[in-house]
Amino acid sequence: MRLFCFAYAGASAAIFREWINLLAPSLEVMAVELPGHGSRRDEEPFCAMGPLIDNLVPALLPELNKPFAIFGHSLGALIGYELARQLYTRAGLQPRRLFVAGHSAPNCKRSSKLVHNLPEEEFIAELRRLNGTPPDILANSELMSLMLPLLRADFCMNETYQHRSSPVLSCPVSAYGAIADTEVSSEDISAWRSITKGPFSSLLFEGDHFFIHAATPLLVRQIELELTAH
C-alpha cells in the first residue's frame, strides 16, 4: 500500500524521511513535494486550494495503481482531504483510509483573523508564537526573506479555503490531535467525523501543534496499526 503524505505550511516532504524506516516494508511512503517547497523551491507556490488540487490529481493518478492511503498534518490535512474528495469525484477512487492531523474539521467555525497579509514584523511574530519555525531561522533575515513568500502563500491557502459540504467521503477517516495544541481543540478533531459515511476514529497525542515531530514513533505506529487492521 502507498501512503501519500502532505506536510504543514512551509515544510518540505523531507519531514517524512524518518517514516520510511519506521513503517513496515509493505507500506510505501510517498511524501509529496509541493511547488515552492524543498527540492521544488524554485517553482511558484500555490496560494489557493483549487488550483493546487487541479495540479495534484493528474500528477498522482499514475501512482494510484495499487491500494493507497493519505496522511496530512495541519495545512497538509486540508490538502489531503480535498485531494481525497476530488479523486472520488473525478476518478471514482478513494483512499483505504484518510489520516488528518493537527487541523480543525473543514466545517468548523474559522477564525476571522488573517495572518498571511500581516506586515512582515507581525507575520514573523505569529510564526514565533506558533512555534513551528526554528528560532535560528526566524532570526536569520536572509533565510526569512527566502521563506516568507512561501509561508505567506501557504497561510493564504489555508485562510482562504472555502469548504463545500459535498461530496461526503465513504472511506474510513482517522483524526489526530495533541493535548497541548492551542490552535486545534479536541472538539475540532472530533468534528472530522462529519466528512465521511464510513468508520471514524480520533486520538490525541502528547505535545503541541507540531506533535508530528515529538510523537513520531507513536504516530507512525498508530497509522500502521490502523492500516493493518483495515
CB 8 within 8 A of CB 102: yes
Fill in the amino acid letter for 207: G
CB 96 within 8 A of CB 227: yes
Single out the catalytic residue among 12, 74, 104, 174: 74
Return phi, psi of residue 73, to 5°. -115, 135
Which parts of the chain are beta strand (E)? 2-6, 28-31, 68-73, 98-101, 173-178, 200-205
Q: Is 103 exposed, middle or buried (0-12, 13-18, 19+ CB in 10 A)?
A: buried
Coil, strand or helix: which one is 57? helix
Q: How many C-beta atoms lie closer than 10 Å to residue 75's C-beta? A: 23
Q: Is 74 a catalytic residue?
A: yes
Distance between alpha carbon 109 and the CA centroid of its chain, in Å?
19
CB 118 within 8 A of CB 198: no
Question: In which residue are the cell numbers 500581516 written?
Answer: 118
Active site members? 74
